[in-house]
Structure 1
Amino acid sequence: MRTVRALSAALLTLGLATAPAVADSSAAPSRAGTSFRTATEIEQGQRATASGSTGDYLYWSFPADTGQRPTVRATVKLPDTHAAQTWQIDVYDGLRRRQACQYGAQTRTAAADAPSVQLACVLRTVRAWSEPWANDPLPGTYYIRLTATGVLTSDLGLPVDTEVRADSKDIGGSAAVDGSLAEPLVPGIATRSGDQRENEAVLAGLQPQDGWASGWWSDRWVWTAAGGMLAALAGIAGYALTRGTGRPARVPPSA
């Protein structure tokens, strides 16, 4: 009995000791990296904040999978007194290729003494596969870079507070392609074998909640199968309507 009680107390103590660590790991990130290699990882739908200075380059990274159309939003809270400033948000894929924004205010100029500026970038839909020469978004890690591009010397170093968030809309089979990547574009993952990936860290460790898509399945298969069944039923119905139901006319005997 004493052994059981001691074991229970030890487990309870261990649980209380590890509880703060679990809470901290689930908390929203409150800092940003200063380069691609030190980018702060965030989950999609997670709000991340960071304090910095005007003129700094701030970096975050997030995973995006096949069929998703990511949207990145950023808010910069400016100091009480400042000159006009131009801020810009850029998104890069795992190969550090800058991805174009379909729409959204990627660059905005804040008027003098404006309290804040808001930016947004809606990317193209992530494809499962692409030609080597194309610049299509592919599954893997995506990097967010936030910085001021037009700043007077007097404003350099002024404190700012930033907030970023990445979300995605699932586009589905309308964006499906034939083919898939051997590995997602996660920096470091393609140069390691399967055993090494389990024991060694890569430059970006986050992945979608359901894992990376294999690339071959999409709801396009459902629509294709449904279309085939409807075509077969239409053929059967058409045959039944055109074959006729009456008995053939009797041919009179020849004289």
Structure 2
Amino acid sequence: MRIVRILTGTLLLLGLAVSPAVADSSPSASSSPEADGPTEAGTSFRTAAEVDQGTKATAQGSTGDYMYWSFPAEAGQRPTARAVVTLPKETASASTWQLDVYDGLRRRQACQYGAQTRTAATGAATVDLSCTLRTVRAWSEPWANDPLPGTYYIRLTATNLATGDRGLAFGAETEVESKDIGGPAAVDGSLAEPLVPGIAVTSAQSQDSDDSTDTAKLFSLEPDGGWGSGWWSDRWVWTGIGGLLAALAGVGGYALTRGSGRPAQVPPGH
């Protein structure tokens, strides 16, 4: 019974000590988006407007044009990109809108779920689009198309427009939020550099020159804490708990099975 009480007390102490760490790494939506993001969108990957996660971006454009935004995503995050398109009142027919997400290598990423493409009926005021990516991995095989840490691009456009509806003014509002998946998404490996356009060139130039003004990246935003901040996860916590419980189980089993430690009494005459 003493061993049982010791094990019970140890488990309670572990639960109290680990609960804050588990709460921090559990999936949770980021803070509500702010309204101080960029008010213009880019027209290509190179001119994409930079927007941080949790910040709203707005833009005005003409139907038929492409709009581009870029944002950073770190390992362990599951980003969700959303867009609200305010349709022109002069629209004479239905229109189809699409939201695509590309990674730093400009590979189109599949949406795990969400309404990536929607058709707005004639007279509709707005259309809502969303795309939730797969969890960003810290490392992947070169041939795989897994999401990796680095820059991501949002592209918004109308894929089906009547000829008379082209060139009409419309408004767009985008935002990106992420959930921290934590230990279930952890892998044993990491990239040497995040997939940020120009970062490899910048690193090489920094080694050859002491003047930082000679270097430039095509994307300047970073996750909170910088790149590589997602190395910690609750996987470390549960691994430690498992090792400690195994040790306690070994000690308890030994204490229960070792006996009294006295040599067996041999009856007289034997």
TM-score category, normalised to shorter length: 0.7 to 0.9
1:182 and 1:102 map into 2 onto residues whose CA distance is 27
Given candidates 66, 76, 83, the residue that maps to 2:85 is 76
Q: Counterpart of 1:176?
A: 186
- Taking structure 1 as the reference length, what is the TM-score of the superposition? 0.86
Q: Counterpart of 1:54?
A: 63
Structure 1 unaligned regions, length at least 5: 1-25
SS of residue paired to 2:199: coil
Check the 8 A contact 2:90/2:168 in 1, yes or no: no
1:101 and 1:86 map into 2 onto residues whose CA distance is 18
Q: Kindly tell me: are residues 165 and 215 of structure 1, through their superposed partners in 2, closer, same or farther at Cα, counting changes over 3 Å? A: closer
Q: Counterpart of 2:41?
A: 32
| Greater Cα shift, 87-96 or 208-217 | 208-217
Residue 216 of structure 1: CA displacement? 4.8
CA-to-aligned-CA distance 1:79-104 (integer Å, 9 cap, x gap): 12311010000000000000000000
User: Which residue identity does 1:220 align to in structure 2?
Assistant: R
| Greater Cα shift, 170-179 or 32-41 | 170-179
Residue 244 of structure 1: CA displacement? 2.3
| Greater Cα shift, 200-209 or 100-109 | 200-209
Q: What percent of counterpart residues are identical?
A: 70
Q: Counterpart of 2:28?
A: none
Residue 219 of structure 1: CA displacement? 2.6
Check the 8 A contact 1:87/1:109 in 2, yes or no: yes
Q: Counterpart of 1:221?
A: 236
2:196 and 2:40 map into 1 onto residues whose CA distance is 21
Check the 8 A contact 1:78/1:160 in 2, yes or no: yes
SS of residue paired to 1:148: strand
SS of residue paired to 2:89: coil
Q: Counterpart of 2:130?
A: 120
SS of residue paired to 2:127: strand
Structure 2 unaligned regions, length at least 5: 1-34
CA-to-aligned-CA distance 1:13-44 (integer Å, 9 cap, x gap): xxxxxxxxxxxxx9321000000000000010
Given candidates 150, 168, 171, the residue that maps to 1:158 is 168
SS of residue paired to 2:201: coil
1:198 and 1:48 map into 2 onto residues whose CA distance is 30
2:157 and 2:96 map into 1 onto residues whose CA distance is 9
User: Which residue identity does 1:64 align to in structure 2?
Assistant: A
For the aligned residue pairs, the C-alpha RMSD in angstroms reads 1.8
Given candidates 156, 161, 180, the residue that maps to 1:146 is 156
Given candidates 109, 130, 141, the residue that maps to 2:140 is 130
Alignment of 1:85-104 (within 5 A): 85-104=95-114
Q: Counterpart of 2:246?
A: 231
User: Which residue identity does 2:70 align to in structure 1?
Assistant: S
